[in-house]
Each structure stands twice: as C-alpha cells, then as structure tokens.
Amino acid sequence: MRTFQLTIIGALFVGGLASCMQQVDSTNANYDQNDAQIQTYASAKQLGGQLTSTGLYYKITVANPTGRTPKVGEEVEFTYKSYNLQDVLVDSTKANLPVYYPFGLQSILAGLEEGLGLMHEGEKATLLIPSYLGYGDQAVNANLPAYSVVRFDVQLNRTRTETEQINDYIARNNLVITDSSATGLKFIKTQDNPAGRQPGLGQTLTIRYKGKMLRSASAFDSTGTSTVDVVLGQNRFIKGFEEGLSRLREGEKATVIFPSAIGYSTQGAVSANRYIVTPYAPLRFDLELVSAK
C-alpha cells in the first residue's frame, strides 16, 4: 500500500541466479580464456550452435518456432540444470521446480536472460555462458570456481503478460469477479454491506489490508489484525489500492487484483537491497473498510 522510497537500482532477488552487475574488463585474460573454452567445448560436443555478439553460445535442442518469445515485463516460467565444462552438475534444484521471473529486469545472469530472450515457449536450449555474462569472479561451489564458463540446459515453459497472469490467478483460485474497471482492476467482494456509507475524497478511512504479489505466499505489506487510518484521494498510495478502497462501503471486505500500471509500475519496491515487489508485478490486496469519517 505504501509508496516505498526507491533508492536502489537493479536489486537482486532470484537467489543463485542473481547477477553481480559487474563491469566487464575487456583486458581480463580469464575472459579470453572463456571464449576459447567455449569454442573448444562446442566443437568437441558437436553442438552446432551459434555465438552472439555478446559472447553467449546457444543451441536450441528442442524447437518450437511457432511459440511466443518473451517481451520485456512478461513473466517467464523456466526450468534448468547447470554444469561446468567437465559436464559435472553444478545445480539441479530448478530442474522440476520452475523459476518465475519478470523478463527484462536484468537481475539474473546476463547470459541466461539473453538466452531466454532467444527462445520460444516450449523450447529447450543449451547455453554456454562465459564468466563475464555469468558469475564473474564469484565461485558458485567447488564445481564452479571463479571465472568459469557455465553451461545451462534450459526449458522455457511459457511467457505471460500481466493480463494473462491475472486471469490465470483468478481461474486457479476460483475467484468470482464482482466488478472490473478500465484500469485493469478486478474487484471481488467478500463481505457485503449495502447499507454502509460510501467513502468520499478527503475522508479518513479506518481500514485493514494485506498486499502480496500473485506468486508470493506471504504479504509484503499488512496491517495484520490491527487497523490503520488513511485519507482517501491524497495520492499518497498506489492507484490500485485507492481505487479498491473507493469501491467499498463501511463494513465491507473485498479482494482487488490489479496490474503494475496502477501498482509499482516498472520500478517495483525495494527494501534492504532486495525487491519486495518486483517491477511489472500484478498485485492482490485484501481490503476491509471498518469506518469512514
């Protein structure tokens, strides 16, 4: 609900895939060695892939050319395994457990994000990522020391717009839409009180609320069982939150779901150098209007 102060750019949030946002030193001998290692490995394995201008090597191993490709701001769902160039497994934790990521955020390995952008839904690919597009001078574990080329075997399951994410969420949770608006807000009334007063601009509202991203089990902001007073219409809060409140009467409760355009937009919300709300994130708020004065 609060309009968080955003002072950190490129905050990291995807665990072991987080980009270190480093500047590439073109004179680093390790990087030249990476390029040679990639060529040697690809030739020995007869991958028959392609090298991009950035230094990423990729090979589509299962093609689906009619599938959609990700666009900036869409949620991509993918799985992967990673290996070193001795074909020793580095990470298989996401082989069956999908990663959901706002494409274009540039908070995961640059080579992995570039590779995903070259794929269509339903495709599989092998990516050979040099350290300057990967983990850089950071060691992942004993199998992948600093300045190592990493191989990702990736499957892009799907890419979804915010509207598709919202519709999928509503269907998955069997929610019944009471009303919707041109802003994209979906209104689900959960407690009705037709005799209650409708709040007006400038009124002080006593409310309870809980807000979360659609993929999150926990709230990023909540009053809990307590109440808080807010003044309606002062533009202190995100637009979707205020629009949802304005549709309630005293004594009513509702769930509202809305796109990032009336949420935290392309910036998201950051706390302690991590996104608590990612850019391009549709949100859910559970609202209760206790009273309006």
Angstrom distances, CA of residue 207 to CA of 6, 70, 82, 118: 25, 39, 47, 46
How high is the mean pLDDT of the chain? 92
**pTM of the predicted model over 0.85:** yes
The pLDDT of residue 115 is 98
Q: How far apart are CA 287 and CA 210, in angstroms?
A: 7
Cα angle at 277 between 273 and 278, to 5 degrees?
85
Residue type, 110: A
Is the pLDDT reported for residue 6 higher than 60?
no
**Across 82-108, average pLDDT:** 95
The pLDDT of residue 273 is 83
Interval 218-272: pLDDT, tens: 999 999 999 999 999 988 899 999 999 999 999 999 999 999 999 999 999 998 8
Interval 136-183: pLDDT, tens: 999 999 999 999 999 999 999 999 999 999 999 999 999 999 999 999
The pLDDT of residue 272 is 86
The pLDDT of residue 234 is 86
Interval 9-30: pLDDT, tens: 333 345 577 665 455 566 688 9
Interval 112-127: pLDDT, tens: 999 999 999 999 999 9
**Across 204-220, average pLDDT:** 96
Percent of the chain with pLDDT over 70: 91
**Across 185-206, average pLDDT:** 96
Q: Which of the pair, 75 or 8, is modelled with greater confidence?
A: 75
Please report the domains of the chain, with CATH numbers, ordered by start residue.
15-159 (3.10.50.40), 163-292 (3.10.50.40)
Kindly give, in sequence order, each residue whose CB lies less than 8 Å from that of residue 34, ignoring residues fewer than 6 positions away. 55, 130, 131, 132, 147, 149
